[in-house]
A and B are shown apart, each in its own frame.
Chain A
Amino acid sequence: MKDLVAAVAVGKVDGHLILDVDQVEDNYGEADMPVAMAPSINAITLLQLNGVLSPSEFSEALNLAFKGINEVYRLQKETLRNKYLVRVE
């Protein structure tokens, strides 16, 4: 196993880029972009943009997605580690 895959969606609502799009934001926003990646090997495994972004917004959106992905990735690892923690009396 090379890495874990973590994913998050970035959106554009009322001209602002937002992280972790909820349903209302998805339905009424101007753009949404799901991104999945294996952070440790710098591999983007899924990317789809629905909507229109300028090149600079796209770059900003991608960085915002990486921020969210790293957070999810940290939680994934923490959860896995905690599952196998054994209390030694």
Chain B
Amino acid sequence: MSVSPTSPDVIISKLKAETLAALAKKGVRSDERGLEDFRRLEIVTNYLPKAEGSALVRLGDTQVLVGVKLELGSPYPDTPDEGVLVVSAEFVPTASPAFEPGPPDENAIELARVIDRVLREYGVIDTSKLAVIPGRKVWIVWIDIYVLDHGGNLVDASSIAVLAALLTAKIPQHVLGEGESIHVDKTVASGPLPILRKAVTVTIGKLGDSLIVDPTLEEESVISSKIIIGVGEDGLIAGLQKTGDGYLTKQEIEGAVSLALRKGSELIAKINECLKPREGTHVETAEPATTIQEGLKPLEGMPDNNA
């Protein structure tokens, strides 16, 4: 494991830190959001043509790309009739001055593990439907998270991108041949990846004595602790993790959990909206603004291969 630059990723002046806390106490933030507002959310699905599923998510200044790949492989001995889920995260060096090239550091591993736990514990993917030859060959679902721009709250941006990518992922067409040979044609889909239920994470930061949703990079450098809460579509708590050196009181934890459940169901509704078949490709919703696009749309300044 490479050595990670210690948090915070940005160092800000004491004066600024005090201002952020004082603003939060008044119920506002430096970017004029309310304490319980997410930043502008943009979801582009099917961003990577060669992946079985993909999504690019922009949450304020944070940008995360997720690719889902399906490969045939051996199942785990204790779950011979189930597919395998592997989540990994990569912090691209250009995403932040604090990120360095090399193998995933502890922050990237933590991000992947938090997302993995929510997917696994809540049973988002129906792995029982991923066995091709039970006990021998199953689909391995590789979920790769690439942090392209670090503007704070990487976990929630990643969880939104992962869910959107999984919901658009298709199982490649596969034909059983002689013996145990399987012919896979990735250009043709045999059906969608079986998704049982949806879940996202909601990260709540403690800034002074206030609880804030979707912290920016600047806010993350001054909050004493964060609580990452997995929220399922049926209002269940799908895992939870406190991070940071600070502490939370019982009342703060209870407040954070009820706030997260509320915001989580809003996020899932937005992802559902994004994936709904519709006319046109651009949908704007009321504040907090969400832009939803489908299909391949290159980033500004990048060559458009589809043109």
Which residues from chain A sit less than 8 Å from chain B, CB to CB?
Answer: 31, 33, 37-38, 42-55, 58-59, 62, 66
Looking at chain A's contact residues, is the secondary structure mostly helix, strand, loop, or mixed? strand
Assembly CA distance A44 to B247 (angstroms) = 5
B38 CB, min distance to chain A CBs, angstroms = 21
Which residues from chain B sit less than 8 Å from chain A, CB to CB?
Answer: 117, 121-122, 227, 232, 235-242, 247-250, 253-254, 257-258, 261
Instruction: Please state if A59 and B254 are interface contacts (CB–CB under 8 Å).
Output: yes
Known contacts A44-B253, A46-B242; is-contact A53 B237 (Cβ 8 Å): yes
Instruction: Please state if A54 and B237 are interface contacts (CB–CB under 8 Å).
Output: yes
A47-B240, A52-B122 are known contacts; what are 14 more A-B pairs with Cβ within 8 Å?
A38-B247, A42-B250, A43-B248, A44-B249, A45-B247, A46-B242, A47-B242, A48-B242, A49-B240, A50-B121, A52-B232, A58-B237, A58-B240, A59-B254
Assembly CA distance A84 to B121 (angstroms) = 46
Known contacts A52-B232, A55-B258, A58-B257; is-contact A47 B239 (Cβ 8 Å): no
Q: Which of B232, B240, B247, B254 contacts A43 (CB 8 A)?
A: B247
Assembly CA distance A42 to B39 (angstroms) = 32
Instruction: Please state if B249 and A52 are interface contacts (CB–CB under 8 Å).
Output: no
Instruction: Please state if B242 and A44 are interface contacts (CB–CB under 8 Å).
Output: yes
Instruction: Please state if B248 and A49 are interface contacts (CB–CB under 8 Å).
Output: no
Instruction: Please state if A44 and B248 are interface contacts (CB–CB under 8 Å).
Output: yes
Give chain A residues whose Cβ lies under 8 Å from the Cβ of B261: 55
Known contacts A55-B237, A55-B258; is-contact A47 B253 (Cβ 8 Å): yes
Assembly CA distance A44 to B243 (angstroms) = 11
- Quick one: closest A residue to B247, CB to CB? A43
